[in-house]
Amino acid sequence: MSLSVHIYKELDDFTLNVRFDTDGDMMALLGASGCGKSMTLKCIAGLEEPDRGKIVLNGRVLFDSEQRINKSPQVRRVGYLFQNYALFPNMTVRQNLYAAVRRLPKERRTAAVDEKLRAFRLEGLDGLYPRQLSGGQQQRVALARVLLNEPECLLLDEPFSALDSYLKWQTELELGELLRPYEGDVVLVSHDRDEAYRLCDTVCVLSDGKSEDKATVRDLMAAPGTVSAALISGCKNFSRVRRVDATHVKCLNWGVTLETSQEVSSVCTYAGVRAHSFHIAKSGEPNRFDARVVRVIDDTFSTILMLAPEGGDSLLRVELSKEEWAALREPELVLLGVAPENVMTLSGEL
C-alpha cells in the first residue's frame, strides 16, 4: 500500500506546498492551526483541487495537473473521517451505516452492516440517533461507516478535537485498537505531538503550508532538525546562535556557549533545549551556567522555573521534579547544566 502526494495550491494566506510518500504506515500530518493540514486531506480526498501536482494511491493516479486527471471523490477509494464525524442526524446508527453500502448487492448489505456493528461494539445502539450517542460512540459509528466503503486509504482530520480530555484518552485507545487490522495507509491530521507519538509510525510537519521531510515520530522528538519541527515537538527554549566550531554554538539570547553532540552545520540558526533537559549542574560538567530565578510555578506534577541566564536577554523555562526543587531551598541563583546530546541545532526561523 502506498500514497504519494506532491501538490501546490494558492490560498489566501500562503501557498500550500506539500510532498510526502507513505508505505503502509500511519503518518501524522502535524502543524499549527491554519497551516494547511485539513486542506491537504481535502485535496487527497478530491474535495478540493490543487492548482498543480500529482496524487497517486497504490499506483492509481487520482490527480495529475499535467495529464488533466482529477478523479471524483466517489471513485478515489479514500475514506475521510471529518472532525465533527458528519453523521446524518435524522438517521439511526444502522441507517447511517446502510448509507455506505448502497453499492453492494441487496443480499449482502445487512450482513456487512451487522459485521461492523459487532466489530465496533455498536450492538444495542443501532436504533439510536447521533444526538443520543457519546462523542466516542459517534466516532465509532463514523469510522465504521467509512470502512464499509473499503477504502484503500484513511484520512483522519483531528478526530479527537471535539472531545474532553478523559473521553479523548478513551477514544484514542479505542481508535488505535480499531485501526490495528486495517491494512491501508492512514494519514492523521493533528497539532498534538503526544497524540501523534502514541498512534503513528511517521510524521510530516507542515509550517505555513510547506511540508518538511517525513521522519519517524521518535526522530522528531530526538532530533527535529528545524525550528518549526522543534516547536511542534514541544520544545520551549530557543536561542539564536552563532557557530563557533563543529561542536560549539554561541547562544546569543542566553549569553552562553554550549557544546553539542550534533555537528553544527553552516545553516544552523537556532539552538533548542527542552524544558526537562536542563538540570541542576555539578562542578566539572559541560554546558553549565548561572541563571537567576525570576518566577516559580507549581505545576500539577512538577515545578516550572522561569530563569534569566546571566548575560542573556531572554528567559528559560526549566522543569524540575517537586522533590528536586524543594531540596534546593528556594535559591535566588541556580547553576544550570544541559548535556551536549540535549542541545538541538536547528535551521529555519521562529
Give yes or no: residues 286 and 158 share one domain: no
Query: Does residue 38 lie in a domain region?
Result: yes
Helix (H) or strand (E) holding 195, with range, is helix 193-199
What pTM did the predictor assign?
0.84
- Is the pLDDT at 162 greater than 70? The verdict is no
Cα–Cα nearest to 8, from 40, 37, 32, 33: 40
pLDDT of residue 104: 84
**pLDDT digit string, tens, across residues 305-335:** 999 999 899 999 999 999 999 999 999 999 9
Give yes or no: residues 70 and 14 share one domain: yes
Q: How many domains does the chain have?
A: 2
Give yes or no: residues 169 and 287 share one domain: no
Give yes or no: residues 242 and 216 share one domain: no
**pLDDT digit string, tens, across residues 34-80:** 899 999 999 999 999 999 999 999 999 999 999 999 999 999 999 99
Give yes or no: residues 39 and 129 share one domain: yes
pLDDT of residue 39: 95
Query: Does residue 230 lie in a domain region?
Result: no
- Give the separation between CA 63 and CA 41, rounded to whole angstroms: 13
Least confident of 177-181, 231-235, 292-296: 177-181
The last residue of a domain, from among 223, 245, 260 = 223
Give yes or no: residues 217 and 328 share one domain: no
Mean pLDDT throughout 10-27?
92
The last residue of a domain, from among 194, 223, 252 = 223
pLDDT of residue 293: 97
Q: What percent of the chain has pLDDT over 70?
A: 98
Query: Does residue 106 lie in a domain region?
Result: yes
Contact 270, 240 (CB under 8 A): yes
Cα–Cα nearest to 30, from 191, 223, 243: 191
Contact 350, 341 (CB under 8 A): no
**pLDDT digit string, tens, across residues 124-152:** 999 999 999 988 888 889 989 999 988 99
- Give the separation between CA 80 and CA 135, rounded to whole angstroms: 17
Of residues 102 and 64, the one with the higher pLDDT is 64
221 pLDDT tier (thresholds 50, 70, 90): confident
The last residue of a domain, from among 183, 201, 223 = 223
Q: Render 142-156 in DSSP notation, one character per residue.
A: HHHHHHHT--SEEEE
Give yes or no: residues 43 and 179 share one domain: yes
Query: Does residue 232 lie in a domain region?
Result: no
Give yes or no: residues 184 and 263 share one domain: no
Strand 333-337 relative to strand 316-320: parallel, antiparallel, unpaired? unpaired
- Give the separation between CA 266 and CA 263, rounded to whole angstroms: 10
Strand 26-30 relative to strand 202-207: parallel, antiparallel, unpaired? parallel
Mean pLDDT throughout 202-225?
91
CATH code, 47: 3.40.50.300
Give yes or no: residues 218 and 247 share one domain: no
Domain extent at residue 286: 237-346
Of residues 221 and 277, the one with the higher pLDDT is 277
Give yes or no: residues 196 and 282 share one domain: no
- Is the pLDDT at 259 greater than 80? The verdict is yes
